[in-house]
Amino acid sequence: MIRSRTLLLAAALTITTCSVAWAQTQPKDPFDKGNCPRGPKSQQEIDACSRMIKENQRDPDLYLNRSNGWVVIGNRDKQNEDIEKAVELSPGYWRVWAARGLFRLNKGEHDKALSDFNRAIELDPKRASAYNGWAMSWMAKGYYDRAIADYNRAIDLDPNVAVPYYNGSVLT
């Protein structure tokens, strides 16, 4: 009983912080869009993303980057709007599905999150972050063996990201 409560608490803490932590722990990458970073940390950076979106309304990465900023300031509705716009603009892009999966995971919609992460993996099976999200979804549902396997897959794909190591260690 204590172990399962500890696991649930660890899962809850991981899920609530993972959106921001995931964005902030990734190395510098092509998703950073100049004044619209992958993980905006202030209203000013969100505003910069909004200005860039006005200039390029078809770039799903700008919407996804801004959606990470909405997490920081606690506006889940705007986060969801940006994610859904990114999915609409680019349904063949793995990152939109991974972002929506993480949003749904944080809302407790585990089955929908699994479906979104699965789609992200189908589109690009070499993305460790998609496997990490899939594993978090399995962990939240109590399928710990599946979660461990997917954390290990994420580690195999990108051994430099700490999140799957930590999350997987909670289960072993």
Q: Do residues 101 and 169 both lie within one domain?
A: yes
Share of the chain above pLDDT 90, in %: 72
Q: pLDDT digits over 150-159, tens only? A: 999 999 999 9
Q: What pLDDT, on the 0 to 100 scale, is given for residue 35?
A: 77
Q: Which of the pair, 24 or 141, is modelled with greater confidence?
A: 141
Last residue of one domain, picked from the residues 42, 72, 90 = 90
Two tokens, residue 113: 């999150």
Residues 169 and 139 in one domain: yes
- Same domain? 35 vs 72: yes
96 with 109, same domain: the answer is yes
Domain boundary among 90, 105, 124: 90
Please indicate, yes or no, whether residues 66 and 96 belong to a single structural domain of this protein. no
pLDDT at 171: 87
Q: What is the CATH number for 152?
A: 1.25.40.10
Residues 102 and 159 occupy one common structural domain: yes
Per-residue confidence (pLDDT) for residue 61, from 0 to 100? 94
Statement to judge: residues 22 and 102 lie in one domain: yes
pTM recorded for the entire structure? 0.81
Q: Answer yes or no: do 66 and 140 share one domain.
A: no
Q: Report residue 12's pLDDT band, with 50, 70 and 90 as the boundaries.
A: very low
Does residue 129 share a domain with residue 80?
no
CA dist., res. 129 & res. 135, Å (int): 10
62, 90, 118 — which closes off a domain?
Answer: 90
User: 25 pLDDT exceeds 70?
Assistant: no
Is 124 a residue whose pLDDT tops 70? yes
Asked if 18 and 42 sit in the same domain, the reply is no
**Do 21 and 49 fall into the same domain?**
no
Pair (35, 23) in one structural domain: no
The range of the structural domain enclosing residue 2 comes to: 1-27+91-172
In this prediction, residue 75 has a pLDDT band, given cuts at 50, 70 and 90, of: very high
Q: What is the CATH number for 61?
A: 1.25.40
Mean pLDDT across the stretch 89-100? 97
Q: How many domains does the chain have?
A: 2
